[in-house]
Amino acid sequence: MNATKKVALVVGAQGVIGRNLVEHLATLDDWEVVGLARRGGETRPQVRYIAVDLLDPADARAKLRGLDHVTHVFYAAYQDRPSWAELVPPNLAMLVNTLDAIEPVATGLQHVSLMQGYKVYGGHLGPFKTPAREDDAHFMPPEFMFDQQRFLESRQAGKRWHWSAIRPAVVGGFALGNPMNLAVAIAVYASMSKELGVPLRFPGKPGAYDKLLEMTDAGLLARATVWAATEPRAANQAFNISNGDLFRWNDMWAKIARYFELDVAPPLPLSLDTVMADKAPLWTAMTHKHGLQPIAYQDVSSWRFADFVFSWDYDMFGDGSKARRFGFHEFVETEAMLFGLFDDLRRRKLIP
Ligand SMILES: NC(=O)c1ccc[n+]([C@@H]2O[C@H](COP(=O)([O-])OP(=O)(O)OC[C@H]3O[C@@H](n4cnc5c(N)ncnc54)[C@H](OP(=O)(O)O)[C@@H]3O)[C@@H](O)[C@H]2O)c1
């Protein structure tokens, strides 16, 4: 390790958020990166990976023991569970185990960044106050993000390091094998619609078609996350981070259909989790026919998450002005982000 560089520990380095954070940090000359995930990763200049199970405190201590140069922890690990209550124990345990392992060895620790989301505002539960602001009151738990934030704040008290909490909307970015990836789900759904010769239909709840929502580009999110972790004024603060524009599916869906050269038909409520369950053979046939990468069907399909997003028959957006007031001014056009991601999936030969 080069003592003059900042050293990032990206926790959850294979996720849609962590992976794009690693990519961003790897472009910056003054950072070295260590990525953590159970599956590890391919080490390259400036980036090395450690395979670790953070649910196991002993494994975390053993694998993180040598990381004495880490200056910044970027926590973006996630364990999926079927209910809001079941999300709490594993997601709190992974954060606790990470800090228990890294704090005693990384004596020059400067910052711990926590990835959150609009769950902090109850956005996943039903109609909530929009635009949501960072200082909106908490609600009745369980909510794992509250437990994580409370733990981090109490662990930081009296220490030399600071924390920040980053709250993105639905994230658009490249990743495979992760439970929450809307752009990949839309791209695979559209590609299969085309293969089957059916028009593109919005499969969500009828009321979700005309509500306002927003997304967060994973690259923009990475830049904001690093900004908040290194900007002294952002210390011990939470920030909503989104692209900066709002959209409605009733407008975006037709544009997505045009991108895939499909007709758009009126919405029809469908559970993608149900109707896409029998499509693995179709996917395999498509990979052969179009010369696609042989990626397993379960690694390109986040149907449960797509169903969840398409069920929001209420507005879903935050107030992004706090980050701007504190000095982060970037924005991304959501339509361009989606088409850029679809282009990227085509380049990578993941969709036809
Ligand atoms: N995706 C979104 O649209 C979105 C939007 C807003 C907020 N968020 C929030 O952002 C956070 C990260 O979400 P994400 O979508 O990036 O998650 P993700 O894609 O599921 O990534 C999770 C990461 O954690 C790692 N991980 C899981 N269990 C682990 C374990 N036991 N030990 C070590 N590593 C482990 C995974 O790698 P391995 O599987 O290899 O271990 C992966 O790298 C979550 O709190 C989520 O709620 C996400």
- Check which CATH number belongs to the domain holding 27 and give it: 3.40.50.720
Is residue 205 domain-shared with residue 80, that is, in the same domain? no
- Please tell me the distance between residue 178's alpha carbon and the centre of ligand 1 in angstroms: 7
pLDDT at res. 179: 87
Is residue 50 domain-shared with residue 89, that is, in the same domain? yes
pLDDT at res. 4: 83
Compute the distance between CA of residue 46 and CA of residue 25 in angstroms, rounded to an integer: 9
Residue 108 belongs to domain spanning = 6-171+215-241
Residue in 38, 147, 304 to alter for ligand 1 test, most ligand atoms within 8 A of Cβ: 38
Is residue 149 domain-shared with residue 10, that is, in the same domain? yes
Q: Is 16 in the pocket of ligand 1 (CB under 6 A)?
A: yes
**Model pTM above 0.95:** yes
Q: How far apart are the first and last CA of the chain?
A: 42
Is residue 190 domain-shared with residue 58, that is, in the same domain? no
Q: Is 41 in the pocket of ligand 1 (CB under 6 A)?
A: no
Q: Is 184 in the pocket of ligand 1 (CB under 6 A)?
A: no
Compute the distance between CA of residue 129 and CA of residue 126 in angstroms, rounded to an integer: 10
Kindly report the length of the chain: 352
- Please tell me the distance between residue 54's alpha carbon and the centre of ligand 1 in angstroms: 12
Is residue 235 domain-shared with residue 90, that is, in the same domain? yes
Q: Which atom of ligand 1 is nearest to the CA of 117?
A: 7
Q: Which atom of ligand 1 is nearest to the CA of 76?
A: 12
- Please tell me the distance between residue 79's alpha carbon and the centre of ligand 1 in angstroms: 6
Is residue 128 domain-shared with residue 189, that is, in the same domain? no
Is residue 276 domain-shared with residue 143, that is, in the same domain? no
Cα-only R_g, the chain: 20
Confirm whether 291 is domain-assigned.
yes
Q: Is 55 in the pocket of ligand 1 (CB under 6 A)?
A: yes
Q: Is 120 in the pocket of ligand 1 (CB under 6 A)?
A: no
Is residue 153 domain-shared with residue 189, that is, in the same domain? no
Confirm whether 324 is domain-assigned.
no
- For the record, the structure tokens of 183 come out as 């752009």
Is residue 202 domain-shared with residue 312, that is, in the same domain? yes
Peptide bond before residue 82 is cis, with ω within 30 degrees of 0: no
pLDDT at res. 87: 98
- For the record, the structure tokens of 350 come out as 């993941």
- Please tell me the distance between residue 315's alpha carbon and the centre of ligand 1 in angstroms: 25
Q: Is 165 in the pocket of ligand 1 (CB under 6 A)?
A: no
Q: Is 170 in the pocket of ligand 1 (CB under 6 A)?
A: yes
- Please tell me the distance between residue 182's alpha carbon and the centre of ligand 1 in angstroms: 14
Confirm whether 325 is domain-assigned.
no
Indicate the number of domains in the chain.
2
Is residue 154 domain-shared with residue 204, that is, in the same domain? no
The residue ranges of the chain whose pLDDT is under 70 are: 1-3
pLDDT at res. 143: 98
pLDDT averaged over the chain? 97
pLDDT at res. 40: 97
- Cα→Cα distances 64→114, 156, 287, Å: 18, 19, 39
pLDDT tens string 1-39: 566 899 999 999 999 999 999 999 999 999 999 999 999
Q: Whose CA is nearest to atom 41 of ligand 1?
A: 38
pLDDT tens string 44-97: 999 999 999 999 999 999 999 999 999 999 999 999 999 999 999 999 999 999
Is residue 42 domain-shared with residue 87, that is, in the same domain? yes
Confirm whether 327 is domain-assigned.
no
Q: Whose CA is nearest to atom 34 of ligand 1?
A: 37
- Please tell me the distance between residue 40's alpha carbon and the centre of ligand 1 in angstroms: 13
Is residue 86 domain-shared with residue 39, that is, in the same domain? yes
